[in-house]
Copies of this chain bind each other. A is one copy, B any other.
Amino acid sequence: MFIGDVVGTPGLKMVDLWLKSFIKKHDVDFVVCNGENAHHGKGMSLEALNQLVAAGVNVVTGGNHTWSNFNFFDTLKTHPQVLRPLNYPKGTYGKGYGIYKLPNGLGDIAVVNLQGRTFMYSIDCPFRTADWVIKQIREQNKDSVKFIFVDFHAEATAEKIALGWYLDGRVSAVIGTHTHVQTADERILPKGTGYCSDAGMTGPHNSVIGMQIKSATDRMLYQTPHKYECAEDDVHFAAVLLSLDHSTGKTVGIERIFYPEYDRGVV
Residues on A close to B: CB < 8 A? 26, 67-68, 88-92, 117-119, 121-125, 127-128, 155-159, 161-162, 165-166, 179-188, 197-198, 200, 208-209, 211, 213, 216-217, 220-225, 241-243, 251-256, 258, 262-267
Q: Is A181 in contact with B166, judged by CB distance below 8 angstroms?
A: no
Q: Is B208 in contact with A165, judged by CB distance below 8 angstroms?
A: yes
- Kindly state the separation between the CA atoms of A254 and B188 in the bound complex, as whole angstroms: 26
Most buried by B among A90, A125, A128: A125
Residues of B within 8 A of A187 (CB): 262-264
Q: Is B223 in contact with A89, judged by CB distance below 8 angstroms?
A: yes
For the complex formed, measure the closest distance between the CB of A163 and the CB atoms of chain B, giving whole angstroms.
Answer: 8
Q: Is A122 in contact with B117, judged by CB distance below 8 angstroms?
A: yes
16 contacts between A and B (CB under 8 A): A89-B125, A89-B128, A90-B128, A124-B124, A124-B125, A161-B216, A162-B208, A181-B197, A183-B198, A184-B200, A187-B264, A188-B262, A251-B265, A253-B265, A253-B267, A254-B264
**Contact partner of A208 among B125, B127, B161, B254, CB < 8 A?**
B161
Q: Is A225 in contact with B122, judged by CB distance below 8 angstroms?
A: no
Task: Give the 4 A-B residue pairs with the shortest CB-CB distance, closest first.
Answer: A187-B262, A253-B267, A253-B265, A117-B122
**Contact partner of A183 among B91, B159, B182, B264, CB < 8 A?**
B182
Beyond the given A158-B208, A182-B185, A188-B263, please list 13 additional residue pairs across the A-B interface where CB-CB is below 8 A: A67-B225, A88-B224, A89-B128, A121-B223, A127-B220, A157-B180, A158-B220, A183-B184, A185-B262, A187-B263, A241-B267, A242-B267, A253-B265
